[in-house]
RNA sequence: GCGCCUGUAGCUCAGCGGAUAGAGCAUCUGCCUUCUAAGCAGAGGGCCGCAGGUUCGAUCCCUGCCAGGCGCGCCA
């Protein structure tokens, strides 16, 4: 049984009132029957009411009447007596502005307090199983800054989906098979030999990063030179799996530090060993979407709108990267997930068409698969960009960033921008322990509230059962603004989850914190008349719950004091 | 050449069909005997890249152009 949010309850009430107004006007022969849905929006300007509807404008064409005229007729046929609606007005080009009695805000405050930590959670997603795959860094080295961005976004997206009532899981795909892993093995092999004093170059297509040097030294410490006696093929394989294991451990540690914990680690190698690849190719073949040309096996991705067909098996018998990835996605569906979301870097955007085609060829709806492109990050310090070059072996890793700015700032900053827009990350600003830094601004609001509760306890001010608190003593604009913002929270979560826009949450929290700080300077909680103090305690409790909930979703801490 | 992302305040970015285009930073002016001034109030600052089109209405949608970034393998 879906539990509507306070906002939904109110909107439903308003909509049915307006619908009744339309119906009444229609019966009286004043208006044609209403065909459009009645939409409500929250106006930008407060002077335009708590909600506004554009239904008159939207119906103007159909009703062949000027929008303002329609709106006026409707408004004069609506009965607002005894409802939460105080008054209706027609404004601008034909908006119907709805002004509510402030008592609806009490419901929002009460709801937040009743639901506590669960406030913001809804069952919008109806338990739909969603798999979000992100980061999936190749196990060929430490993780870099873009992956930190993807990590923050993916992790938060899963939190938001779960809050919105989906059953979402985070998955890390381990690319522990294929050419690059072999190259990694060869690179480590060279470093190993170097560590033993041999003059061997790192292979040209190998990995030059310095982390392999220390890994090789460690390997020498563990194994001495005895690996030299293995035959080349076996040694490289050993090197490869050793390096993969070490790199993965390091990645997992970094992620842990960053507050990202994956529900599932999925190994490409294991999947391939299960025969999934052959099975998938057979399935594609059986469904008639493959053909042979130039000695290679092709997938007819153009049948689903891709610009060209793609090779699955090369003419030398090797599979492409694409083929096992199809198998992997099939495997995700077979594990019961109904919706798949992949976060990928911008260099993979060309991949969208073919993978979407593959999903459809396997019989799954195009809408069940989605690739989110996480755009590049440029680190900026003192107005200059910090150069990163993977090829030169010098790059700024996720750990470097965590050392530099800390987890809270790193996550919050990445979550201030839309995933698909390239961003500059100002490391100087992120380090500031002050009001210029948005993350501190939000956390400070939370800490201030905690501080008030500590003080309240000291002076023996205790909140009685919620029912006996009279919220009607709230009246300052800053109090009502706060309550209204709190009422929006569940919908912020829903919208952010549905549109895959975690950055809405940071924006929301900055707004909410702003409103709180304004309230804080205008109104005192302790030392007022008791009923006022109690009502304000209830209000700021609701705010505290909401900020904590929001920060939790972002994976950012909500300190009790600062 | 083709594809994707991006052009909005001095800087970094929100907004993406509605009524006077917003925030943070930076700049300037005020505000601490009272729950944390890591705060608040206020001011200045904008041909929303350019040109057409669709619409009652466009920063938002469509087309073309200009600029920046990133891709375009039987690599992964």
Asked if A526 CB < 7 A from strand B, the reply is: yes
Tell me the pLDDT band of A207, cut-offs 50, 70 and 90. confident
Whether the pLDDT of residue A394 is over 70: the answer is: no
Tell me the pLDDT band of A390, cut-offs 50, 70 and 90. very low
Q: What pLDDT is attached to residue A376?
A: 83
Tell me the pLDDT band of A387, cut-offs 50, 70 and 90. low
> Can you list the positions of beta strands (E) in A227-382?
264-267, 290-293, 296-299, 310-313, 339-344, 369-373, 377-381
Whether the pLDDT of residue A266 is over 80: the answer is: yes
Whether the pLDDT of residue A384 is over 80: the answer is: no
Closest listed residue to residue A261, CA positions, set A340, A187, A158, A180: A158
Phi, psi of A34 (to 5 degrees): -75, 125
Q: In what order do the strands lie in the sheet with A377-381?
A: A384-385, A377-381, A423-426
Q: What pLDDT is attached to residue A389?
A: 44
| Mean per-residue pLDDT, A109-113 | 96
DSSP 8-class letter at A64:
T
Whether the pLDDT of residue A391 is over 50: the answer is: no
Q: What pLDDT is attached to residue A428?
A: 82
How many of the other CB atoms lie within 10 Å of CB of A541?
19
| pLDDT tens digits, one per residue of A310-364 | 999 999 999 998 999 999 999 999 999 999 999 998 888 888 889 999 999 999 9
| pLDDT tens digits, one per residue of A159-168 | 999 999 999 9
* Gap between the Cα atoms of A240 and A230, Å rounded: 14
Q: What pLDDT is attached to residue A480?
A: 94
Q: Which two tokens stand for residue A50?
A: 């708590």
Q: What pLDDT is attached to residue A46?
A: 84
User: Which nucleotide is at minimal CA–C1' distance from A348?
Assistant: B71
Q: What pLDDT is attached to residue A392?
A: 43
Residues 173-192 of A with CB under 7 A from strand B: 175, 178-180
Helices and strands, number each (H, E), in chain A: 19, 14
Contacts of A114 (CB under 8 A, 6+ apart): A466
B35 C1' closest Cα residue: A452
Q: What pLDDT is attached to residue A92?
A: 86
Whether the pLDDT of residue A23 is over 50: the answer is: yes
Tell me the pLDDT band of A413, cut-offs 50, 70 and 90. very high
Residues 292-331 of A with CB under 7 A from strand B: 293-296, 307, 310-311, 314-316, 318, 320-322
Q: Which helix (H) or strand (E) holds A479?
A: helix A477-498
B20 C1' closest Cα residue: A45
Indicate the angle between helix axes A232-257 and A398-405, nearest 10 degrees: 20
Helix boundaries (H) for A258-312: 268-273, 276-286
SS3 content of chain A, % helix, strand, coil (to 5): 55, 15, 35
| Mean per-residue pLDDT, A381-386 | 72
| pLDDT tens digits, one per residue of A269-299 | 999 999 999 999 999 999 999 999 999 999 9
- Confirm if A540 and A449 have CB atoms less than 8 A apart: yes
| pLDDT tens digits, one per residue of A133-151 | 999 888 988 888 889 999 9
| pLDDT tens digits, one per residue of A478-517 | 999 999 999 999 999 999 999 999 999 999 999 999 999 9
Q: What pLDDT is attached to residue A407?
A: 93
Indicate the pairing of strand A129-133 with strand A339-344.
parallel
- Dihedral angle sign, alpha carbons of residues A297, A300, A306, A308: positive
Strand B bases within 7 angstroms of protein beta carbons: 2-7, 12-15, 18-26, 34-41, 56, 68-76
DSSP 8-class letter at A144:
B
Asked if A389 CB < 7 A from strand B, the reply is: no
């Amino acid at each position: 049984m879906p539990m509507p949010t306070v906002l939904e309850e109110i909107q439903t009430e308003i909509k049915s009132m307006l619908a009744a107004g339309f119906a009444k006007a229609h019966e009286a022969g004043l208006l044609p029957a209403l065909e459009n849905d009645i939409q409500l929006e929250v106006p930008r300007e407060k002077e335009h009411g708590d909600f506004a509807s554009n239904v008159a404008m939207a119906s103007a064409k159909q009703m062949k009447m000027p929008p303002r005229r329609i709106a006026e007729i409707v408004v004069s046929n609506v009965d607002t007596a005894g409802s939460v609606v105080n008054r209706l007005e027609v404004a601008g080009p034909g908006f119907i502005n709805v002004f509510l009695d402030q008592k609806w805000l009490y419901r929002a405050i009460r709801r937040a307090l009743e639901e506590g930590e669960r406030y913001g959670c809804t069952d919008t997603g109806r338990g739909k199983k969603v798999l979000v795959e992100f980061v999936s860094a190749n196990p060929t080295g430490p993780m870099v800054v873009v992956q930190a961005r993807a990590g923050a976004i993916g992790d938060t997206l899963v939190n938001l989906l779960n809050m919105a009532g989906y059953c979402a899981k985070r998955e890390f795909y381990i690319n522990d098979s294929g050419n690059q892993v072999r190259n990694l093995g060869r690179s480590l092999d060279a470093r190993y030999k170097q560590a033993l004093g041999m003059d061997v170059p790192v292979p040209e297509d190998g990995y030059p990063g310095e982390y392999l040097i220390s890994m090789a030294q460690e390997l020498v410490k563990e194994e001495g030179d005895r690996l030299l006696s293995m035959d080349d093929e076996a040694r490289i394989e050993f090197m490869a799996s050793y390096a993969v294991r070490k790199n993965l451990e390091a990645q997992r540690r970094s992620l842990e530090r960053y507050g990202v914990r994956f529900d599932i680690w999925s190994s490409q190698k294991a999947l391939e060993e299960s025969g999934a690849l052959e099975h998938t190719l057979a399935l594609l073949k059986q469904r008639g979407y493959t053909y042979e040309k130039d000695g290679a096996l092709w997938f007819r991705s153009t049948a689903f709108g891709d610009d060209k067909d793609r090779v699955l098996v090369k003419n030398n018998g090797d599979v492409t990267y694409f083929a096992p990835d199809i198998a992997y996605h099939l495997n995700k569906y077979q594990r019961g997930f109904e919706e798949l979301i992949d976060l990928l870097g911008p260099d993979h955007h060309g991949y969208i068409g073919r993978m979407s085609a593959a999903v459809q060829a396997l019989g799954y709806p195009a809408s069940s698969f989605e690739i989110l492109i996480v755009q590049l990050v440029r680190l900026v310090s003192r107005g200059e960009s910090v150069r990163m070059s993977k090829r030169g072996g010098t790059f700024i890793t996720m750990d470097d960033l965590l050392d530099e700015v800390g987890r809270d700032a790193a996550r919050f900053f990445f979550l201030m921008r839309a995933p698909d827009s390239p961003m500059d990350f100002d490391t100087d600003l992120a380090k500031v322990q002050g009001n210029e830094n948005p993350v501190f601004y939000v956390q400070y609001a939370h800490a201030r509230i905690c501080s008030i509760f500590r003080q309240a306890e000291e002076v023996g001010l205790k909140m009685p059962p919620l029912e006996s608190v009279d919220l009607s003593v709230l009246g300052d604009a800053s109090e009502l603004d706060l309550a209204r913002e709190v009422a929006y929270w569940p919908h912020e979560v829903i919208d952010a989850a549905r549109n895959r826009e975690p950055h809405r949450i940071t924006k929301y929290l900055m707004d909410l914190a702003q409103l709180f700080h304004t309230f804080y300077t205008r109104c005192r909680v302790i030392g007022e008349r008791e009923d006022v103090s109690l009502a304000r305690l209830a209000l700021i409790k609701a705010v505290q719950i909401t900020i904590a909930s929001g920060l939790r979703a972002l994976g950012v801490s909500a300190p009790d004091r600062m």
